[in-house]
Structure 1
Amino acid sequence: MTNLFPRKNRSSNPFLPDNSMFPSLFDRDTFSELFNGNLLNDSGLPRVDVEDKGDHYRIEADLPGFKKEDVVVEYDQGYLTIHGQHETTRETEEKDRNFVRKERSSGSFQRSFHVGDIDENDIKGSFEDGVLTITVPKSDDQPKTAKRISLD
């Protein structure tokens, strides 16, 4: 399936520009990217959705491979920060096995989101099936109207 879009080898013709710095959509194995199970965004950070529900924010982070013990959520000075660190190991009997390649994943991340003045005592969080869900109630002390700022 990787050859659905044939490519010409541009390096054989010195008069054609080398576009290696600008990858083409057709230079990718689209099906592998769609179905490889990778839930990280292009920066290698977990995908996070922040939704304004009116009286609270709902934050969901996809953290495949992480356990609840691997994740820390903190609020400080208007910022909600999610930290995560994990290392995948596999204890197996390796007698009579001849690996050509053996891969495991490990890593850490930190994501911070400005949520402003909130009711920090009522923040709730849960972690289930690799999905972190945080409910952040907004503070009643927040200004309810917009204000125009005059510029000097």
Structure 2
Amino acid sequence: MANTLMNRNDFGMLDPFERMARSFWAPLENMDQVLKTDINETDDQYQVKVDVPGIDKQDVKLDYRDNVLSIKVQKDSFVDHEDQDQNIVMNERHTGTLQRQYMLPNVAANKITASQADGVLTITLPKTQPSANDGQIEIQ
């Protein structure tokens, strides 16, 4: 509480330099809330590995449309640690949705496979051959 009072001026506002520092570091404070991903590409496939520790596979939704792989994870949990006398030792609540999207072109969408083991989601996306004309249309 003393630190909070020391960071306020006579108007009850945070010091402007403190506000600037907090806004500067804010994007990095939730780095653990990101779906950490590795993507490997070979000539015939992409392999995507996503860390999803503690997430059940029914809480993961995958979608591939318009050359974009979308991953959505819904996490709802409540862990309540109490002793016999109802003295709360610790409460932790985590809830929220994490989403990531990756542009992965030329994928055979009907051949995509996914598995989850040891907290890692592995998605294999077999490639198709890109069209030979690269989207160019000849006018006749």
TM-score in same-fold range (> 0.5):
yes
* Aligned-partner SS, 2:55: coil
Matches for 1:40-59 after TM superposition, within 5 Å = 42=31, 44-59=33-48
Superposed displacement of residue 132, structure 1: 0.4
Question: Judging changes above 3 Å, is the alpha-carbon distance between structure 1 residues 93 and 144 closer, same or farther for their aligned structure 2 residues?
Answer: same
Structure 1 residue 20, shift from structure 2 partner: 8.2
Q: For the structure 1 residues 101 and 78, does the alpha-carbon distance in structure 2 shift closer, same or farther, using more than 3 Å as the test?
A: same
> Out of 72, 86, 89, which is 2:78 matched to?
89
Q: Deviations over 1:84-120 (max 9, x none)?
A: 1011234777641311541122221111111112111
CA RMSD of aligned residues (A): 3.2
- Listed one character per residue, the Cα deviations across residues 27-60 of structure 1 (whole Å, up to 9, x for unaligned) are xxxxxxxxxxxxxx72721101111122100000
Structure 2: gaps (5+ residues): 1-6, 8-16, 23-29, 135-140
Match of 1:34 in 2: none
Question: What's the % identity of the aligned pairs?
Answer: 32
Give the distance between the partners of 1:22 and 1:92, measured in 2 at CA. 35
- Structure 1 residues 20, 89: closer, same or farther in 2, change over 3 A? closer
Counterpart-to-counterpart distance in 1, 2:69 and 2:94:
26
Decide which structure has greater helix share.
Answer: 2
- Distance of aligned partners of 1:43 and 1:64 in 2 relative to their CA distance in 1, 3 Å threshold: closer
Q: Distance in 2 between matches of 1:90 and 1:66?
A: 14
Q: Select the residue among 100, 124, 127 that pairs with 1:135.
A: 124
Matches of 2:66 and 2:73, distance apart in 1: 20
How many pairs align?
116
TM-score with structure 1 setting the length: 0.62
Alignment partner of 1:103: what SS?
A: strand
Consecutive unaligned residues of structure 1, counting only runs of 5 or more, are: 1-10, 12-17, 24-40, 147-152
The aligned counterpart of 1:120 is 109
Partner of 2:14: none
Counterpart of 1:107 in structure 2 is 96
Change (3 A) 1:87 1:97: same
> Residue type of the partner of 2:40?
E
